[in-house]
Amino acid sequence: MRFVLLIAVLSGCSDDPTDPHQLGACDDGWQRNGYTECEAACRNSTVALTASGPGCAARTTAGQLTCSKTFEFEGAVGCCASVAPQVLFGECE
């Protein structure tokens, strides 16, 4: 019983970062504009749309793009690109 409890406690303390490219549901801000699937880094439309970091050359799962402004998501820096009905994260190279 103690072993099971220890495993449960340790699994709750994991600091594994989220994959910025993991697809999931978009937040309400994106959905109101017709986007249904967002990569993890882009799910929060407010963070994505108010990015203020320096621009960069970036790559999404669909190809290359140029980010005019960037933000950081769990150590990855980049911007979001909309490819209806998805919003993809372009990670700076």
Cα 64 from Cα 91, distance rounded (Å): 9
What is the predicted pLDDT for the residue at 15? 59
Provide the pLDDT confidence category of residue 2 given band limits of 50, 70 and 90. very low
Please state, in angstroms and as integers, the Cα–Cα distance from residue 8 to each residue in 12, 15, 22, following that order: 6, 14, 24
What is the predicted pLDDT for the residue at 1? 44
DSSP type of residue 19: P
In the structure encoding, which two tokens stand for residue 90, read together?
């372009």
pTM, to two decimals? 0.81
Average pLDDT over residues 25-29: 97
**Among residues of the chain, what percentage have pLDDT more than 90?**
77
